[in-house]
A and B are shown apart, each in its own frame.
Chain A
């Protein structure tokens, strides 16, 4: 319990601590930030090892009264799904900070304050069990990310920062209306509480299916719009390439690594859990857009001349798989989606790090500027290749596991009930191979005929330190994914069980060792 609070609040404390540092004391600021994020990771490991993966419910739950008047509480806890994402956050942040050492050249103090604040808010999003609290964390993220893109970004940073902010805010404000309406509906109409209002997710999640479909569908879209923009799904994705391209390397790493996962996480945690009927009826529409996103993202990525933009569009494509997996509403699909969230964080995060390594040396990201880099930077080539292949979905590396599971899920999904999603989606895997391998070939192989590239230095110690841990996890998940899959398995089963009971009256999945609350209700 205390470990969860520590994981959440250490970054916040750290960012406040940094405020007291002298502006010119850059070294101290850098290493303190790194130290804080590493310490947070260490604490989160304790959390991870004391997590009971057999229990499908929320663990380490802390509930505190916060704003009594509208029953908003400080309620946090993790289940299998959020556990993995919290770990992803605490794992990616130190790496992002390490990569900042090379790419951030001005206003260091403000930067590291922002990064730690961002970590605090991201962790908060994944652990919040209260809609009001969730919304607060969700919005706090905007502030540091906006500054990170806007101050430390590339040449069109202003445009990108404002676009990022406006897109996200449009979604989240509609979510706010949905949060308020939902809280009112559950509080007044269903529970008839004295306060007339609640934002307690632990209560709402079990009552969601009691909301009439007519109300559910509006609430569903209120939440979904916000999450789908964050994912981002086609055609709401246009902010992403700009934000990614203009953000500094660590910004892109965090954006790809964690921020986009907030959208997909939200879809599972809130949409599927609270509005199962509406989710079922809109599953095919959203899946259609997910599949379009897979193909569209891949096709657009293919024609990019900027490496970073290419990776950004590849994110649009990859997250299509995640969304498809989620709305297949099968255990395989959702499990695949969860592991694919982690995978995408690792492999795309690493791709961005690699682009950053190149950019720090040459200050350009144009593919045509490179060629034959493999000869001068052999070690870097290996890491870049691993990241690229993981992203392609090579069996044995992490990407394969996730994509395979999501596609299987979509294939056997009784709710989507069509093979076409899988068939078209699978071609996205082929496209991914095409654009990523082609990009890799143009950048790394061929002749090194640009004089500026003759004497590029290979990776330094710091860059080794950022890449090696990611590679370890990429291979680990690829070879033995069940270490991670089993963490979220029971939580997923519980969710799918609930959905299937609603739809078919029986479920194909059982929950070993734990009583199924839904069935228990029926027998009573």
Chain B
């Protein structure tokens, strides 16, 4: 039991610390930085506990589950935990100076980060539909608040309301899907039990299919996949920039973790040959339908996201649409339903986190508090602040998937996975949409490097904690591009 508690500590610890931080905030009085440092230490603590539960030699500790098998530990869940923690820390550093620049210095933001991490880590550890649902709701509710954090501003409130209403719909689909699966399998909620029952027991495949489809719809909302992505650009644009950075990276990764867990259990690839033949037919039918459904969502998400991003004038909105498109790439890993695909997702999410948060920090710095977020506000940035422009350039190239930056190996892995599983056409769609995306990624570089501003920005950007986020992100984007092997090997060993 002690071992279970130790192994499951990322979930408990983040939950406990998230609650404690509210108290810290309430009692810290005038001491402004106490909450910040407490949040930082808490995140680091959760990170350390997560790191403990994955064996760094690449060998997973004996994966297991507790709370009657409802919460899993170790393995890839822990890698996701680390991802969430890093995203949290990066956001934490970046948000302090951002909030000050925006004249909104309320420390609840730090506790919200912890609550979100708690929700996400619950998702990543879920081994049961209910836990999954609880995790998703903890995360979502936090995000609704984060989106509306600038409560005096119309855009922020609008973002929160839109997010909340559509998010509530998504929750409806999700829970309905779970209910149907529960009914179709004769009362099962544990992922592995559902998978096992589908192979051996008496399952109503019609309801299972509908349930699975609804589940996918619900999760598609959370990853902002087409056609359930409509909320994303508005919400991402209206929310505080640092909240957007956090939601569009860690939040997306968490939703993908849920997708991995669900599809891994429910779409088994190797059937027992001893099964009766009509069972095999039903199962093959089900898995191939499910994969095609996700493949079509993935293809359309990539295309729609990138095509919509091309016409955006507002950088934040452009990044929001590009984030929709990236969800499409990531779904390729789910379609392939293989170790390569899953590890591709983890790797890509990790790289995506660094480049996206980095890009949003730059947006946040340029934004100041007069809301400069148009492409033309970046004109001549390479002259006024060469370092900032260079980093933004690296993030853009990386987002476009150009080597030697982190975005490339991730894409490469996902391509391998899709081709291996016979979805070559999906790879070609991905390539076509990448070509479209290059137009707007390098478009920003054009503004920063090739155009001279009529009203150049004169102010210098001083050193702040946000710079730390930027530097860390840049370093990791480059490192993951040149030496991806450590992370890839680690992740691959966990499935």
What residues of chain A have their CB less than 8 Å away from a CB belonging to chain B?
66-70, 110, 132, 135-136, 139-140, 142-143, 146-147, 150-151, 157-158, 161-162, 165-166, 169-170, 173-174, 176-177, 180-181, 183-184, 188, 196-197
Q: Which of A143, A150, A174 contacts B450 (CB 8 A)?
A: A150
List 17 interface pairs A-B (beta carbons < 8 Å), by A numbering: A67-B409, A70-B412, A70-B416, A135-B403, A136-B403, A140-B403, A151-B449, A157-B450, A169-B402, A169-B434, A173-B431, A176-B412, A176-B431, A177-B427, A184-B420, A197-B416, A197-B420
**Chain B residues positioned under 8 Å from A165 (CB to CB):** 438, 442
What residues of chain B have their CB less than 8 Å away from a CB belonging to chain A?
343, 386, 397, 402-404, 408-409, 412-413, 415-416, 419-420, 424, 427-428, 431, 434-435, 438-439, 442, 446, 449-451, 484-485, 488-489, 492
Q: A151-B449, A166-B439 are in contact. Are A180 and B416 (CB under 8 A)?
A: yes
Task: Report, nearest first, the 3 A-B pairs whose CB atoms are least far apart.
Answer: A136-B403, A67-B485, A69-B488
Min CB–CB distance A482 → chain B (angstroms): 39
Residue from the set B403, B446, B449, B451 with the largest chain A CB neighbour count within 10 Å: B403
**Chain B residues positioned under 8 Å from A196 (CB to CB):** 420
**Chain B residues positioned under 8 Å from A158 (CB to CB):** 446, 450-451
Tell me if B442 and A180 are in contact (CB < 8 A): no
**Chain A residues positioned under 8 Å from B439 (CB to CB):** 162, 166
**Chain B residues positioned under 8 Å from A68 (CB to CB):** 485, 488-489
Q: A143-B397, A176-B412 are in contact. Are A162 and B449 (CB under 8 A)?
A: no
Tell me if A150 and B449 are in contact (CB < 8 A): yes
Min CB–CB distance B259 → chain A (angstroms): 22
A177 to B386, CA, bound (A): 35
A119 to B420, CA, bound (A): 35
Min CB–CB distance B433 → chain A (angstroms): 10
Min CB–CB distance A384 → chain B (angstroms): 32
A68 to B451, CA, bound (A): 42
Tell me if B488 and A67 are in contact (CB < 8 A): yes
A162 to B343, CA, bound (A): 34
Tell me if B424 and A69 are in contact (CB < 8 A): no
Tell me if B424 and A177 are in contact (CB < 8 A): yes
**Chain A residues positioned under 8 Å from B419 (CB to CB):** 177, 180-181, 184
* Chain B interface helix/strand/loop/mixed: helix
Q: A135-B403, A157-B450 are in contact. Are A184 and B416 (CB under 8 A)?
A: yes
> For residue A23, which residue of chain B has the nearest CB?
B386
A299 to B380, CA, bound (A): 41
Tell me if B424 and A66 are in contact (CB < 8 A): no
A180 to B431, CA, bound (A): 12
**Chain A residues positioned under 8 Å from B489 (CB to CB):** 68-69
**Chain B residues positioned under 8 Å from A66 (CB to CB):** 485
Tell me if B449 and A140 are in contact (CB < 8 A): no
Min CB–CB distance A237 → chain B (angstroms): 19
**Chain B residues positioned under 8 Å from A181 (CB to CB):** 419, 424
Min CB–CB distance B342 → chain A (angstroms): 13
Residue from the set B424, B435, B450 with the largest chain A CB neighbour count within 10 Å: B450
**Chain B residues positioned under 8 Å from A69 (CB to CB):** 343, 413, 485, 488-489, 492
Q: A69-B492, A162-B442 are in contact. Are A176 and B415 (CB under 8 A)?
A: yes
- Beyond the given A143-B397, A180-B415, please list 5 additional residue pairs across the A-B interface where CB-CB is below 8 A: A67-B409, A68-B489, A136-B404, A180-B412, A184-B420
> For residue A157, which residue of chain B has the nearest CB?
B450
**Chain B residues positioned under 8 Å from A146 (CB to CB):** 442
**Chain A residues positioned under 8 Å from B408 (CB to CB):** 136, 139
> For residue B416, which residue of chain A has the nearest CB?
A180
Tell me if B485 and A169 are in contact (CB < 8 A): no
Min CB–CB distance A150 → chain B (angstroms): 5
**Chain B residues positioned under 8 Å from A135 (CB to CB):** 403
Min CB–CB distance A58 → chain B (angstroms): 23
Q: Which of B412, B428, B446, B449 contacts A132 (CB 8 A)?
A: B412
> For residue A173, which residue of chain B has the nearest CB?
B431
A143 to B485, CA, bound (A): 24
Tell me if A169 and B438 are in contact (CB < 8 A): yes
A70 to B420, CA, bound (A): 12
Q: A67-B485, A69-B488, A140-B404 are in contact. Are A177 and B431 (CB under 8 A)?
A: yes
**Chain B residues positioned under 8 Å from A139 (CB to CB):** 402-403, 408
Min CB–CB distance B41 → chain A (angstroms): 35
Min CB–CB distance A179 → chain B (angstroms): 9
Q: Which of A67, A143, A157, A188 contacts B402 (CB 8 A)?
A: A143
A203 to B488, CA, bound (A): 23
A146 to B396, CA, bound (A): 14
A196 to B408, CA, bound (A): 20
A74 to B39, CA, bound (A): 42
**Chain B residues positioned under 8 Å from A132 (CB to CB):** 412
Min CB–CB distance A191 → chain B (angstroms): 14
A165 to B402, CA, bound (A): 11
**Chain A residues positioned under 8 Å from B451 (CB to CB):** 158
Q: A135-B403, A151-B449, A177-B424 are in contact. Are A169 and B415 (CB under 8 A)?
A: no
> For residue A169, which residue of chain B has the nearest CB?
B438
Q: A69-B488, A143-B402 are in contact. Are A166 and B446 (CB under 8 A)?
A: no
**Chain B residues positioned under 8 Å from A183 (CB to CB):** 416
Residue from the set B412, B420, B438 with the largest chain A CB neighbour count within 10 Å: B412
**Chain A residues positioned under 8 Å from B450 (CB to CB):** 150-151, 157-158, 161
A184 to B413, CA, bound (A): 11
**Chain B residues positioned under 8 Å from A184 (CB to CB):** 416, 419-420
Tell me if B435 and A166 are in contact (CB < 8 A): yes
Min CB–CB distance A72 → chain B (angstroms): 9
Tell me if B420 and A170 are in contact (CB < 8 A): no
Min CB–CB distance A51 → chain B (angstroms): 28
**Chain A residues positioned under 8 Å from B438 (CB to CB):** 165-166, 169
A110 to B449, CA, bound (A): 11
A68 to B485, CA, bound (A): 7
